[in-house]
Structure 1
Amino acid sequence: MADILVTLTSPHANRPLLDEMAAPYGGYANFADVPEADRAAAVASAKVVLSFKPHKEMGDAMAALHPGQLLQILSAGLDDLPFDRIPDGVTVAGNSGAFARPMAEHALAMVLCLAKRLREEDAAMRRGEFNQMVPTLLLSGKKAAVLGLGGAGKAVARLLAALGMEIYALNTSGKTDEPVAYVGTRDNLRTILEGAQVAVLTLPYSRLTHEMIGARELALLAPDAILVNVARGEILDQKALYEHLRDHPAFRAGIESWWVEPLRHGRFEVEYPLLDLPNLLASPHNSFDVAEWPQLSYEAAFANIGRYLRGEAITGLMRPQLHRI
């Protein structure tokens, strides 16, 4: 049996690409090709299991996971995994940074759309209005807060810096090799947010980041700030966001990640009428969905698998005390 067991199902299973990526590691076994009676044994014998939704793909065979194995998840987020069904001691890793480039481009697009009033002026011109003297927002020289400095956060910071923005960043260590103006931890959140013209959320969802941005944090931003969330909806206090947008019309938000979504929850739902607000730009959590997504996701996942098999430090490591929400 190969060291790598792949449990992915369509549309996440791209056989030719899997063959190519797994070849340097001796290939892989495909869970769906294993007779049902032998599937638990196949899971137990693998060094690495590559999954998207392991509980759905493996079913009862998931119980055969054991300490010493890597469960590599194809998606970056880990917050919707059934941690109570993953045996203690199994190393679990998300696909950190796999979609950093498309996510960063999406975040930048939302920032620019809101800053330059593209929706509003397009609609006005279709009504016959030519608002040449309505000012838009200059971003160059302004402060941008980037919360989360993993792969996506770094990519966002670089794009905003290319516009001439001054980057204030947050991560867990308060240290970075990125050329930012300031980096701090959660203890420095006020310094990072205060007066920022743009704030972009890219950090992972955990117990520590649940509703991390509420009324107090929103009030720290510039009155006409732009807030973009490409992380998880639950990092934002939905009620606080709605009230801040409602009460501060110059404040704008681009929401790409929502609190209740079809892929994670089976439905789309908001508790407050955010979509009725003209200063909110909505996107259906599709920043990752580019034509190249299989290549991006497999490259990142197999790079991490390679590190694990070589005994090197891996990325996207799940910390049970934080992710079991």
Structure 2
Amino acid sequence: MSGRIGITFGPDGVSENVERILKGIEVVWLKDLAEEDRPGELEKCDLLLCQFLTSKELTDGEWAALRNVPAVQTVSAGVDQVPMDRLGDDTDLYANVGGWAPPIAEHVLAMALCCSRRLVQQTRDLSDGIFGFMGYGLKTLKEKVALIVGYGGIGRETASVLSRFGMEVQGLGRRRPEDSLLSRGWTMSELKEALGQADLVVLALPLTKETEGLFDDDILTSMKDDAILVNIARAAIVDEGALYRRLKSSPDFFAALDVWWNEPRDGGAFSTDEPLMELPNLVGSSHNSNQTETAPREALEIALENCLRIVDGNGPSGLVRKDEYLR
């Protein structure tokens, strides 16, 4: 196998895995080159491997050169941060499908259990000296219906985890999912009907033009009054005000959020527009559902394997429809 792959990160800490998986491929470590040499070397590549492909990840010269590169693979699963208009029309973009799925699926289960066992409220009460031995209406997940909205790599791994926990798992996608893990598949046109019979709803779909603000007042009120909503996708899929109103009016309705509308990535203070953090039926984490001690290495390996398939033309996964994204 031959080919030339440019990489925007490393080589420290990743070169061993890169060389092992991309054996026979010429690897260009762009960070090791002088800045003025990078665009020319990038332009000669068959593929670029990058972390997120944000605007700041490449210089203007590198972005211009990238328009002539046939393909880009991200290590990240999501690609809504990519400035799509800076990619060439003929440049294929591949997301890292399933790359971060195992830790995220574990996180979904942890969040669902935190809600069903009322752990946030119990912790708050204990800190206030309240020992509510029988007072929380604790629930089981076993034999309940879980609906996974967005049935890609993360969705399928989540289905595997939840089914082993004894849940009946259903999937919903643009096309009706068919999988031995699922008791039923739904399409987006059936969203409200599917939500109305689910006890746990997991959002694992990408943020696109069609999904931005999808979970508004109308959609949220179609869910059961005692349902659990877990969002490990993107915050903007859910309308913040609508979620606050649903949580406030339905104390047995729970939401568990790993993603937020205003995420301070520069060390700033975290805040929400609505007073969500005051609510006892909200569980949160700091957009770190993908983080474990082994996850970065495992995700990189999956991305590298897909790079081989791209260069070899051997059925790569994760091809992105660039025109569906917000920018």
- Both proteins in one fold, TM over 0.5: yes
1:29 aligns with: 28
Contact 1:31-1:39 within 8 A present in 2 as well: yes
- 2:270 and 2:24 mapped to 1: Cα distance? 40
What TM-score comes out, normalization by structure 2 length?
0.91
Question: Compared with structure 1, are the counterparts of its residues 138 and 36 closer, same or farther at alpha carbon in structure 2 (3 Å cutoff)?
Answer: closer
Q: Which digits, 9 at most, give the CA deviation of each residue in 1:191-222, with x for residues without a partner?
A: 21113111110111111111111112211221
* Conserved 8 A contact 1:6-1:51: yes
Per-residue CA deviations over 1:174-194 (Å, capped at 9, x if unaligned) read: 132233111111111122111
Q: Secondary structure at the match of 1:173?
A: coil
TM-score, normalised relative to structure 1 = 0.92
- CA distance change for structure 1 residues 32 and 67 in 2, over 3 Å: closer, same or farther? closer
Structure 1 residues 239 and 9: alpha-carbon distance in aligned structure 2, compared to 1, 3 A threshold: farther
- 2:83 and 2:52 map into 1 onto residues whose CA distance is 9
Is the contact between residue 121 and residue 280 of structure 2 (CA under 8 Å) also seen in structure 1?
no
Shift in CA distance, 131/268, structure 1 to aligned 2, threshold 3 Å: closer
After the TM superposition, which residues 300-319 of structure 1 pair with which residues of structure 2 at under 5 Å, given as runs? 300-319=302-321
What secondary structure does 2:103 align onto?
A: helix
Q: Is the 8 A contact 2:146 2:170 kept in 1?
A: yes
Q: Secondary structure at the match of 2:121?
A: helix
Mark the CA change 1:123 to 1:206 in structure 2 (over 3 Å): closer, same or farther: same
The equivalent residue for 2:117 is 116
| Cα deviation, residue 126, structure 1 | 4.5
Structure 1 match to 2:20:
20
Q: Distance in 2 between matches of 1:21 and 1:268?
A: 39
Residue of structure 1 equivalent to 2:253: 251
Paired residue type of 1:65? L
- State the shift of 1:269 in Å: 4.2
Amino acid at match of 1:158: S
Write the mapping of 1:24-173 to structure 2, written as runs, cut at 5 A.
24-54=23-53, 55-59=55-59, 60-67=61-68, 69-134=70-135, 135-173=137-175
Q: Distance in 2 between matches of 1:306 and 1:227?
A: 37
**Amino acid across the alignment from 1:118:** L
1:49-75 deviation per Cα after TM superposition (whole angstroms, max 9, x unaligned): 111244323302221123561111111
Match of 1:320 among 298, 319, 322: 322
Amino acid at match of 2:173: N
> What is the Cα deviation at residue 4 of structure 1?
0.8
CA separation of 1:53/1:202 partners in 2, compared to 1, >3 Å: closer, same or farther? closer
Amino acid at match of 2:51: F
Contact 2:103 2:290 in 1 (8 A): yes
Where 1:262 maps in the other structure, the secondary structure is coil
| More deviation, 114-123/272-281 | 114-123
- Pick one of 185, 206, 210 that aligns with 2:187: 185
Aligned with 1:230 (options 229, 232, 235): 232
Question: C-alpha separation between the residues in 1 aligned to 2:11 and 2:244?
Answer: 37
For 1:75 and 1:15, locate their aligned partners in 2 and report how far apart those are by CA, in whole Å.
18
Distance 1:17 1:293 in 2: 14
2:58 alignment partner, SS class: helix
Gaps of 5+ in 2: none
**Alignment-mate amino acid for residue 242 of structure 1:** Y
- Aligned pair 1:219/2:187, yes or no? no
Q: Offset of 1:103 from its aligned partner?
A: 0.3
Residues 205 and 235 in structure 1, CA contact (< 8 A), matched pair in contact too = yes
2:106 corresponds to which letter in structure 1?
A: E
Residue of structure 2 equivalent to 1:281: 283
- Give the aligned length: 323
The Cα shift of 1:265 comes to: 11
User: Which whole-Å CA distance do the structure 2 matches of 1:144 and 1:175 have between them?
Assistant: 14
Give the Cα–Cα distance (whole angstroms) in 1 for the partners of residues 35 and 234 of structure 2.
36
Q: Structure 1, residues 87-111: CA drift from partner, whole Å, max 9, x if none?
A: 2211111111111010010011000
Cα distance in 1 for residues equivalent to 2:10 and 2:52: 9
Q: C-alpha separation between the residues in 1 aligned to 2:75 and 2:257?
A: 23
CA RMSD of aligned residues (A): 2.3
